[in-house]
Chain A
Amino acid sequence: MNNRFVINYTPGPTYLHQLSGFTKVFLFIIMTVAIIATYDVRILIPLGLINLAEIISMKPNWKPIIFMFLFTFFTVTVIGNIMLFVVSPDAGLNNCGTETIIWASASGRFYISKEWLWYVFAVFIKRTVSFFSVMAFALATTPSEFASGLNKCGLPYKVCTIISLAYRTIPDIANDFVDIRNSMMMRGVELGKKASLGKRLKNNVTLLVPLIMSSFGKVTNIANAMDLRGYGKNKKRTWYAEKEPTRADQLVRGLTIALGVLTIGYLIWSKVIDPWPAKIWCPFSDPSLIRQVSLEESFFLFRWLKQLFNH
């Protein structure tokens, strides 16, 4: 079951795997905040390297990770940026505040600027770092550690139990689905490549009826089993999966707090003390030349609507 996808049901052997659930959830939350709030390549690249190092240290099964990375790269980055080039070649100006055009089409409708390239690069870095961070967390954490860690972070324990029960039932439901699908195919329902796409979709939907019926039957049983073992009696509960913190945990929690402080410090410095005048930091922009772009100008939809009105 382990590593079949990226979900690990039993803790792995490496240092990161052995950390307690709370440590991992806490680190993940602060990491996510740091990535979203800073949005600065100078911060993102070191964070990305840290997360990449974490992933490497866990010696994962690379196949699904690389697959997911390439999949998102092609759908989001490649296709997304072609679209961006078509509808908004001025994204560089909007985000970086200046524009240094390096190529333009004859009509001038399409062009590429240094800042546009930088903006595309910064977005790519942000997505990649987020991807690494999610991967590192998913690889390091078992579902029960996730649930217990979230509870320790303050989420009500009933919500956390739902999360761990979901992980518990995913493989069962998947098996049920395969069984139901097989029985339908034997009765002659076309689910394979022979049928048209619309028909296949429709036929797959009919499979949901028995799937939901057989899953509902289990819900009562699960609820009874939990009641009979005293679930929901107290306002709190303890977790078998939440290991006592070790020295390694304390170290990582300390580093996480440091990251949090660093993020706040960066935000104060870059927004209050020495505010950068554009949305994102860009090495090609001279701060004194940066032009403030109004909100309505920065969204192409707004601009199009305005042009329509002017006509």
Chain B
Amino acid sequence: MEPIISFQNFGFKYKTQSSPTLVDINLDIYPGQKVLILGASGSGKSTLCNCINGLIPFSFEGEISGTLTVCGRETKKASIFELSQSVGTVLQDSDAQFVGLSVGEDIAFAMENICMPRSEMVPLVEKNASIVGMKDFIDHVPFELSGGQKQKVAIAGVFANDVKILIFDEPLAALDPQMGMTAVSLIDDLAKDKDRTILIIEHRLEDVLYRPVDRIILMGGGRIVADMTPDELLKSTLLKEHGIREPLYITAMKYAGCSLEGNKNLCSLEDLAFTPENETKLKTFFTSQYTPLKESEAEPVIEFDHVSFSYDHQKNVLTDINFQIRKGERIAIIGKNGAGKSTAAKLLCGLIRPSQGQIRLKGGDIRDLSIKEIGEIVSYVMQNPNQMLVKDIIKDEVGLALKIRGRSEEAITAMTEKVLKACNLYKMRNWPVDSISYGQKKRVTVASMMALEPEVLVLDEPTAGQDFRSYTDIMDFVNTLNREFGITILFITHDMHLAIENTERAIVFSDGELIAADRVCSVLANEKIIERASLKQTSLYRLAVKLGLDPESVIEHFISYERSAARE
């Protein structure tokens, strides 16, 4: 069979960069394959796909060496418009790519551009919308849709030309866990049509493997590092070397001392057949003695006492919320988008005030405090660091809050230096803010909050837009702040990995109500809560069920083992 995509000694260097981003790429992809292109940030995986869809060299200029043929055409000679007839790309930012003012219009966008008469357009839009399950939303405007719905619209939007190749650029980046699962299933359904070739670019391996893929191409440093089946890749040591997180159940198997050889269907926990030896090892490991996690007994810093909130005095956004957070705790605030977790955070920061009930900060009612005064105790780090950075130089950014408060020049310098050192940014203190990476910007925003010596740090989706390596960096850094300065940390997140690895307790919201405030392992082991909050079962839970063990104790075991390993 002829390959549908064929790279021959291909290389690419961006005009603005001194060294090539892609080197020595030789790769054939055949019609009907479903391929995962895996790699950390900067590995070249997005560049590779932009070469296929024609954005390179159309929008991003640079030097191409070697050849790339897509559907029999050499891309150097084809225009992006010709390529768009056979390659459909769903971009990572599902909001930015929604250019229409309604669902129907956005799906029709490509048809409009080829001057299709409206009479043909309308039935086709309806057909494409129903393929992705958005038929009832055709008249809806983008502002009413969730991230997952926008992504479905984007998928329907690239169908217009009956494309042969579908590229998904980080489809899971902006979705909560359950929507992510829906997206992976939808992509899998699309792959069932054997005329379609599907490329998924991701670094969240476990989430993509929720449905099978034929091949995984692992990228690193602009080269193809591996081209193998998922099972082969999981058995290898390549994941760790290239900054990709391995599935949790694989980590658990390693902790239990299992050998990965000889297990069938390693890539899918449901179909996985353990060797008898491994099964015994796992059962022994998860039933052995362990040190249970200690619960904090420090005095409470934050108390929500029967708090309700509504914007219009009619419908409550939050209803009767009660919880306590003790000093030095690390807490995960979880729940799907719109469940009320950001409203709770806004209440805590004083941006909005409770309609009923009382919020106490270190024992005092926050009603008596201004936003500025609350800001000296509670620091809120927004999801997108670009929304927070206002100064040109890192050092000035970090010192800004102190300057506003009229501290002396010496005091500002002393504090800024201390914080920059703690945040491992001291070497960069005189760098322009524009010149650093997204992950580093995130650290700068945390540092600029630390200058006020807050007691509570609220991090909104700290892992969004980060690969595993920079995720680990940020988490190590935040955990250091917690350990050494006793700062209470609140993570607003829907990343269950984050909750397992970095928090002691979880507070779960669903439809404006608090449905759980308990130990992480108890929350994650509670099927009802997971379902109500639209979360995803971690693979540890499913592993426990598979082995016939109690999920709560398996998860607790895992966490306890991991943390004691981390301490040593």
Contact = CB atoms under 8 A, between A and B. Distances in A.
A240 B386 contact: no
A185 B372 contact: yes
Contacts of A222: 96-97, 99
Contact of B102 (A144, A171, A179, A244): A144
B375 A187 contact: yes
Contacts of B452: 187-188
Contacts of A168: 98-101, 142
Contacts of A32: none
Contact of A230 (B114, B125, B375, B401): B114
Interface string A210-233: 100110011001111111111111
B390 interface: yes
A230 B84 contact: yes
B375 A188 contact: yes
Given A1-B143, A10-B141, A186-B379, A221 B112 contact: no
A111 interface: no
A180 interface: yes
Contacts of A188: 372, 375-376, 401, 404-405, 452
Contacts of B239: none
Nearest to B392: A209
B38 interface: no
B158 interface: yes
B119 interface: yes
Nearest to B451: A187
A238 B382 contact: no
A189 interface: yes
B160 A229 contact: yes
B115 A234 contact: yes
A193 B115 CA distance: 53
B412 to A, nearest CB: 13
Contact of A210 (B93, B113, B114, B386): B386
A171 B388 contact: no
A182 B101 contact: no
B157 interface: yes
Contacts of A231: 109, 113
Interface string A8-40: 011000000000000000000000000000000
B70 to A, nearest CB: 13
B55 A227 contact: yes
A180 B388 contact: yes
Contacts of A172: 95
Interface string B37-54: 000000000000000011
B337 to A, nearest CB: 14
Given A144-B100, A214-B386, A241-B105, A185 B118 contact: no
A144 B112 CA distance: 13
B139 interface: yes
B448 interface: yes
Contact of B390 (A1, A206, A230, A237): A206
Contact of A229 (B110, B349, B384): B110
B349 A186 contact: yes
Interface string A151-167: 00000000000001101
Nearest to B83: A228
B104 A10 contact: no
A239 interface: yes
Contacts of B80: 227-228
A225 B91 contact: yes
Contacts of A206: 390
A9 B141 contact: yes
Interface residues on B, range: 35 or more
Interface residues of A, number: 56
Residue of A221, A238, A242 with highest tally of chain B CB at under 10 A:
A238
A240 B372 contact: no
Nearest to A239: B112
A243 interface: yes
A167 B99 CA distance: 10
A224 B105 contact: no
A209 B434 CA distance: 12
A227 B59 CA distance: 9
A1 B405 contact: no
B366 interface: no
B371 A224 contact: no
A183 B114 contact: no
Nearest to A222: B96
A32 B157 CA distance: 38
Interface string B232-247: 0000000000000000
Given A222-B97, A229-B157, A237-B112, A179 B118 contact: no
A142 interface: yes
A238 B384 contact: no
Nearest to A177: B387
A183 B97 contact: no
Given A233-B114, A240-B112, A187 B404 contact: yes
Contacts of B115: 234, 236-238
A311 to B, nearest CB: 56
B71 to A, nearest CB: 16
Contacts of A233: 81, 113-114
Nearest to A176: B387
B400 A187 contact: yes
A164 B141 CA distance: 13
Nearest to B117: A238
Contact of A225 (B81, B96, B118, B448): B96
Interface string B351-375: 1000000000000000000011011
B101 A9 contact: yes
Interface string B317-346: 000000000000000000000000000001
Nearest to B352: A182
Contact of B91 (A214, A224, A230): A224
B390 A209 contact: yes
Contact of B104 (A1, A207, A240): A240
A280 interface: no
B59 A225 contact: no
A217 B386 contact: yes
A228 B101 contact: no
A244 B448 CA distance: 57
Nearest to A147: B101
Contact of B118 (A164, A165, A171, A239): A239
Contact of A240 (B55, B59, B105, B158): B105
A157 B308 CA distance: 49
Given A186-B380, A230-B110, A225 B97 contact: yes
Given A9-B102, A229-B84, A218 B113 contact: no
A265 B375 CA distance: 69
A184 interface: yes
A97 interface: no
B387 A210 contact: yes
Residue of B58, B96, B102, B374 with highest tally of chain A CB at under 10 A:
B96
Interface string B53-97: 111001100000000000000000000110011001101010111
B101 A164 contact: yes
A289 B142 CA distance: 63
Contacts of B524: none
Contact of B113 (A10, A164, A221, A229): A229
10 contacts: A1-B144, A9-B102, A179-B387, A182-B349, A183-B380, A183-B382, A188-B376, A188-B405, A228-B84, A229-B113
In the complex, the 6 A-B pairs of residues with the closest C-beta atoms, listed nearest first: A225-B97, A221-B96, A240-B108, A229-B110, A230-B113, A233-B81
Given A188-B405, A209-B389, A240-B109, 19 more contacts: A1-B141, A143-B101, A144-B100, A179-B382, A187-B449, A188-B375, A188-B452, A189-B404, A213-B386, A222-B96, A224-B59, A225-B99, A228-B55, A228-B80, A229-B160, A230-B110, A233-B113, A238-B115, A239-B118
Interface of A: 1, 9-10, 142-144, 164-165, 167-168, 171-172, 176, 179-180, 182-190, 192, 206-207, 209-210, 213-214, 217-218, 221-234, 236-244
